[in-house]
A and B are shown apart, each in its own frame.
Chain A
């Protein structure tokens, strides 16, 4: 193999690092998208026996948004193996203990049963906030688009924008808003 062919081989099978911002995203819908990148299914060279999966860096996993009443209804089961040691932890409880666990379990589950699953999970890097080590950030060359819009908080909008927002009328100077009961 000549040196150009060798470099071509490295280029084709080089692992790409993707970043995904989990803030306000449904972890179960996001997992389906992230799994495709972890397995390398977005590549034209994909084959199940072809080791071409990419790395995915998930940031802001603390900010995930579960649909409906899943925070209080979804239970995570764990059994240590000893008698009467089965536990059912609610999603909000688990999230307060480990803010990365719900995202990790969602991705692990959607990878499907396979001997490669543990190895594929090694290419997933979860961070609870946007504080990512510089050596990880240096590798990233692509970003996965979010699945739903991130709502904007009123206290994050500039005061200038709020003041210039179109209004039908101004409240009188001595106007008292109705007291909240």
Chain B
């Protein structure tokens, strides 16, 4: 069996208590590499001229590095707080596309690997009562009963028998006479 064909399974997990008190942007460092002369980096150059300063102002917690290099394709590398590093090529992408990719990268928490959720919810505290045991909701009177017990084994919800009805009628008759 080729295990690489299957998704890794896991649970839905936010970064350590992120957003409970305050929200910390998980994207920490952004490295933009591009070439000053090649056509593949045209969109990246446009992005740096038009949007990069604005982007850096809006995301002040992100450190942005811009690294020109000769005759190499443009690349975006995002590094996250949990140590994940996401590399993506921006070859032949125009500046609008790059802006969209960057906004996606800055919203992510660094989980670059897709996982199959074993459950669609997750809680650190599954149960306050604790798991079920055979003694949960058990009548404590059972501790003092000697099994087998005649009354406990009897069938429930039986209709009244003719004998019981006769005895009941006689008892009622007696009660009315006494009154």
Contact = CB atoms under 8 A, between A and B. Distances in A.
A59 B148 CA distance: 9
A147 interface: yes
Nearest to B147: A140
Nearest to A16: B134
A24 B60 CA distance: 82
Contact of A148 (B133, B148, B152, B155): B155
A127 B163 CA distance: 33
Nearest to B130: A8
Counting chain A residues whose Cβ lies within 8 A of the other chain, the interface size class is 20 to 34
Interface of B: 130-135, 142, 147-149, 152-156, 158, 166-167, 170
Given A11-B134, A149-B158, A166-B170, 17 more contacts: A8-B130, A8-B131, A8-B133, A16-B134, A21-B153, A43-B134, A44-B132, A130-B148, A141-B134, A142-B147, A143-B147, A143-B148, A145-B152, A145-B155, A145-B156, A148-B155, A166-B166
A138 to B, nearest CB: 10
Contacts of B134: 11-12, 14, 16, 43, 141
Nearest to B150: A21
Interface in A8-58: 8, 11-12, 14, 16, 19-21, 43-45
Interface of A: 8, 11-12, 14, 16, 19-21, 43-45, 59, 130, 137, 140-150, 166
Contact of B132 (A16, A43, A141, A143): A43
A143 B142 CA distance: 10
B152 A45 contact: no
B171 to A, nearest CB: 9
A96 to B, nearest CB: 25
A12 B149 contact: no
Given A166-B166, A166-B170, A11 B135 contact: yes
B155 A147 contact: yes
A12 B135 CA distance: 9
Contacts of B170: 166
A130 B146 CA distance: 13
A115 B147 CA distance: 32
A143 B148 CA distance: 7
Contacts of A8: 130-131, 133
Contacts of A11: 133-135
A141 B155 contact: no
A21 B167 CA distance: 28
A149 to B, nearest CB: 6
Contacts of B132: 12, 43-45
Contacts of B147: 19, 137, 140-143
A12 B153 contact: no
Contacts of A16: 134
